[in-house]
Structure 1
Amino acid sequence: MEGRSGVKGTLYLLLTVIGIPGNIIIIASLIHIAYYDHKLLAADAILSNLATVNLFVVLVRCIPETTAAFGLKQLFDDNGCKIVIFIYRTTRSLSIWMTCLLSGFQCISLIPVTPTWSTVKRQAPKYLGPVLVFLLLLNMSLSTPAILFSISSANNSTGNKHAVNLEYCFVRFPLQTVKLANGALQTSRDVIPIVLMILASAYILLVLYRHRLQVKEIRNSSNKQGSTMEIRAAKAVVTLVTLYVLFFGIDNILWIYTLTVARTMQTSLISDLRVFFSSLYASVSPIVIIISNRKVHNKLKCRKIKQEATYSETVS
């Protein structure tokens, strides 16, 4: 058990060390771009929101899991557990919706220009703000069971077979039917964006395939450059969607397993694996964004060049 706790703590510490700086870099880079350019494209605004919710996922999930694995379990009282679990469930769900929204805007940018779609492309960014507010309120309302059933680990709930043990907190359900209903709610609210993301990614892949067939026919260098930028962004979105679908699939298969099987030592291990995969996207996605997003990448490159120039001047 001690060996498993050590491995678990090390893995979550790794996610924390990668996830916090990675998401902060994206947020800071996009804020810097918005400040100096006096505007932020819709896709960049979605990326900044995605990085923000992923940062919260790392803060309220990976850090408590790390400390609990290394022996410090009683971090929160009842109110603290309610707040932490509520924030986690809300931001985790928002993470998938932000990825879905990003794939949707990428589809709109790749759709051929027609009178109808030209209007959609022009009007869509104007509705981004209300859509973000709606998604926030929706996911906050669907996370309210966390407020009702979350308690501190100081309140021993090991005798309650309907409780979910997070080590630093318990989610204590009164009945098995309530536990199953809550699990179904948490899973089903993610199914819709997953389906939409898959459909959007299928369209993006179709566009990429057509682009590959036509790329030899492109002769105008400016058009080629613009097309290349769109294709690069499309590949990045497909990569993010693929990662989320993969981690979401593993997470929910394990979640369904823990809801339906008897409570044993094996299910405790399965629960640890489920929580790990549910947190993995928040730490891995910033790496993909930093590598693939030209604006963020160039901002970091310029920063590095300035630092090297400053260092050279100081040395000389």
Structure 2
Amino acid sequence: MPSVSVSVGIIFLGQIFIGTLGNLSLLGKYLFLYFRGYKTRPIDLILVHLTVANILVILSRGIPETLAAYGLEDFLSDFGCKCVFYASRVGRGVAFGSTCLLSVFQAITISPSYFRWAKLKVKAPKYISTFTALCWVLHLALNTSFSLTLTSRLKTRNITNKIDFAYCSDPRTTKGVYTGHAVCTAIVDVLCMAVMLLASGSMLFILFMHKKQVRHMHRTRGSSRSSFETRATHTILIVMSIFVFFYFLSSVMQIYVTFFGRSIILLFSLTYFTSACFSTVCPFVFMTVASM
């Protein structure tokens, strides 16, 4: 077995172990608080959905990539290929949407009373469950077309116009479906990214104004709540920065392998590894940077 494949397998195993452990720990924390009857915050529901999506991203492609790196070939059927890539895409989309929702909700939470959207503070918590459910429904429906062309590599050995992954293949025989899916996904991603950047800018502005106005009130009665909201906002801003970094890095690599590196399977593995890095790092940021 080539040393490169062994190294790739070890890297994916490490990512699976670290990422799954971190997300399960964070998920277990919120489930423990819920079943013990502790009062939970609306933001906790978003984080639960985010951790579930992260686990889906890490396991759906991480396990097949590891098996392929250790020499197992053609171990997935047509249905298996469709399920693996479908789960991965849905998890990625929900993680994206949850991060966007998290940033918007936090921006609303810390907005002062003179902001226009401060009135949403009371209404926003009531609609979180609705928006998280819609996020799942949207990406479950949006990514259905993406998995239609995926098939086992055994069925595409004689097809030249295809994209080979380590364990599945995409003959791209239905170009219209693929193009339509790519356009829809790009539109949703751009809209979410724009909303996230707008929310980030608003939070940074609010924190800057807050620091100037209440610097002399650190030891007052209300300072503990302000301190908590500030720590929570800092954590979300860090998570968003990490997401944007890995998203753009993964997008650039995806564009490259799609148009220039179709026959290099290792590049596809590296692209997936990069896209799953956010899901791996995210729970540790929440657990270490601030008490969310």
- Decide: shared fold, TM above 0.5: yes
Answer yes or no: is 1:128 the counterpart of 2:128: yes
Deviations along 1:265-308, one digit per CA (max 9) or x if unpaired, are 4xx4433322111111111111111113415xxxxxxxxxxxxx
* 2:147 equivalent to 1:110: no
Tell me the distance in 2 between the aligned counterparts of 1:17 and 1:261. 32
User: In the alignment, which residue of structure 1 is the partner of 2:30?
Assistant: 30
State whether residues 26 and 51 of structure 2, in contact with CA within 8 Å, keep that contact through their aligned partners in structure 1: yes
1:62 is matched with which residue? 62
* Distance in 2 separating the partners of 1:75 and 1:184: 31
Match of 1:277 in 2: 274
* CA deviation vs aligned residue, 1:29-51 (integer Å, no higher than 9, x gap): 00111222354211111001100
Matches of 1:93 and 1:23, distance apart in 2: 17
SS in 2 for 1:134: helix
Alpha-carbon separation, structure 1, partners of 2:157 and 2:175? 15
- 2:138 maps to a residue whose letter is L
- 2:79 maps to a residue whose letter is N
Q: What are the residue-to-residue correspondences of 1:266-305 with 2, within 5 Å?
A: 268-295=265-292
Q: Compared with structure 1, are the counterparts of its residues 38 and 260 closer, same or farther at alpha carbon in structure 2 (3 Å cutoff)? A: same
CA distance in 2, matches of 1:16, 1:151: 24
Which residue number in structure 2 is paired with residue 218 of structure 1? 217
Q: Pairwise mapping of residues 1-316 of structure 1 onto structure 2 (< 5 A)?
A: 2-114=2-114, 117=117, 119-157=119-157, 159-161=159-161, 163-174=162-173, 179-261=178-260, 263-265=262-264, 268-295=265-292
Tell me if structure 2 keeps the 8 A contact 1:149–1:172. Answer: yes
Residues 221-250 of structure 1, C-alpha deviations (whole Å, 9 max, x = no match): 332211110110001101111111111101
Offset of residue 116 of structure 1: 6.6
| C-alpha displacement of 1:175 | 5.4
- 1:179 positional shift: 4.4
SS at match of 2:205: helix
Q: CA RMSD in A?
A: 2.3
Shift of residue 86 of structure 1?
1.1
Percent identity over the alignment is 28
String of CA shifts for 1:173-221, please: whole Å, max 9, x gaps.
1155654544344333222111111111111122222233345321543
Alpha-carbon displacement from aligned partner over 1:149-191 (angstroms, at most 9, x marks no partner)? 1212333447332x33221222331155654544344333222
Equivalent AA in structure 2 for residue 289 of structure 1 = F
Say if 1:146 and 1:171, in contact at 8 Å, map to a contact too: no
Q: How many residues align?
A: 292
TM score, norm. by length of structure 1: 0.84
Q: Is the 8 A contact 1:187 1:252 kept in 2?
A: no
Distance 1:106 1:171, change over 3 A: same
- The aligned amino acid for 1:292 is V
Offset from partner CA, 1:105-140 (integer Å, 9 cap, x none): 100111112597554111111111221221111111
In the aligned structure 2, how far is the partner of 1:13 from the partner of 1:261?
28
Structure 1 gap ranges (5+):
296-316
Please tell me the residue identity of whatever aligns with 1:165. D
The answer to whether the Cα contact below 8 Å between 2:57 and 2:276 also exists between their aligned partners in 1 is yes
Distance 1:18 1:189 in 2: 29
